[in-house]
Amino acid sequence: MDKKEYKPITIPRLTWEKKELTESFGELVAQPLEPGFGITLGNALRRVLLAAVEGCAVTAVIVKNVNNEFTALPGVEEDTMHLLLNIKQLVVRNKEGISGKMQLKVKGPAVVKGKDIKCDKHLEIVNPEHIIAHVSEGGELDIEFFAEMGRGYQSAPWPEGKPLQEDNKIYLDAMFSPVRQVSFDVDKTRVGKEIDFDKLNLKIYTDGSENPLDVLHYAVSVLRTQLEHFLASAEIPFNDISAMPEEIKEEKPIKAVDLGLKEVSPDFLFKPIDELELSVRAHNCLISSGKKRIIDLVNLSEEEGLKIKNFGRKSLNEVKESLKAFGLTLGMNINEDDVKKLVKTIEE
């Protein structure tokens, strides 16, 4: 059988917003994407990032003089339950991906923090200023921590039929994933004369134990590995037959003048109508009809204004004069999303 010829697909360019890239936040822009692929890839990446990325967490502790989570500790302000909750909030970086131990020995008076913990060489506390406990004069806190790697959430693995461990080990619920939040937006971008290509903005927030670039690499590896098993035969070499578009034109940036804003900043439109200092009658009529922001007024036509209950021609003229002082009029039909984009552009 002759080899079938396939049409190429669009290969996106990937760029990280370097000015905003940190150990705990990153924004990736992927464009251009085939129409509809923004939602498809955004959803898939978000689900895998939140559910499948490995991380390290404390899964058990041994606290000296404590044999269950309800014991009171002499000389320690926090009870054992509160202490365990604080321990769960420790962020641990694991450099080798293997289990390890950490040790804490403190005598009071002291404010015990993450930086007081001594870790195995391949472990590191990412939030050293996190407060674990307050130890008073004469008090002592001695804890051994057990850190493990895992995915997602794991409930405390208590052995069946054993409410207490012989070695006094207390098991903890653990959230392993270093990914805290993932969000994405899909906009339209232009390639040549085509205007319906997708642009994906993916924002990744982590706890700092892993950076956004590494967790995305991990997530894509997981997703690709899973999808490979759906191939019925050799993979179609789209990377070989496709090429990145040389020309990428995004939507024309919105300017204040395009929206008819000459004398006020865009965020002024989102301010309450109180800024216009209208009469009590006109103000109350507008509020009752749901016109609470200045943008609501500039998008109001004269005909619509006269239909507002108890809002006559005199009140309408008063609004027109107040708007005129700011270079605004009725019936401007300003798109709220365009204003938000302009505000965001100015802030950046």
pLDDT at 95: 93
| DSSP 8-state code for residue 336 | H
For residues 30 and 14, the answer to whether their CB atoms sit within 8 Å is yes
- Provide the mean pLDDT of the chain: 87
133, 152, 175: which is the final residue of a domain?
175
Confidence of residue 246 (pLDDT cuts 50, 70, 90): low
Confidence of residue 312 (pLDDT cuts 50, 70, 90): confident
Summarised one tens digit per residue, pLDDT across range 33-70 is 999 999 999 999 999 999 999 999 999 999 998 877 78
Helix (H, G, I), strand (E, B) or coil at 266: helix
* Alpha carbon separation from 224 to 33, 102, 178, 228, 243 (Å, rounded): 18, 35, 20, 6, 20
Q: Which residues contact 264 (CB under 8 A, 6 or more apart)?
A: 326, 327, 328
Is residue 5, in this structure, part of any structural domain at all?
no
Residue in 242, 231, 240 with CA at minimum distance from that of residue 7: 242
Is the domain of 261 the same as that of 337?
A: yes
* Total domains, the chain: 3
The domain of 47 spans: 13-52+179-250
pLDDT at 156: 86
* Alpha carbon separation from 252 to 256, 257, 342 (Å, rounded): 13, 13, 12
Is the domain of 74 the same as that of 34?
A: no
Residue in 131, 57, 62 with CA at minimum distance from that of residue 100: 57
Confidence of residue 258 (pLDDT cuts 50, 70, 90): low
224, 250, 276: which is the final residue of a domain?
250
Is the domain of 170 the same as that of 59?
A: yes
* Alpha carbon separation from 338 to 113, 259, 271, 300, 343 (Å, rounded): 47, 8, 16, 17, 9
Asked which of 78-87, 257-266, 290-299, 311-320 is least confident by mean pLDDT, the reply is 257-266
Query: Is residue 86 within a helix (H) or strand (E), and if so which, with residue range?
Result: helix 80-88
Strands 153-154 and 92-94: unpaired
CA 173/CA 188 separation, integer angstroms: 43
pTM value surpassing 0.85? no
Helix (H, G, I), strand (E, B) or coil at 334: coil
CA 188 to chain centroid: 22
Is the domain of 42 the same as that of 60?
A: no
Residue position matching structure tokens 């009658």: 281
% of the chain residues with pLDDT over 70: 91
Is the domain of 228 the same as that of 183?
A: yes
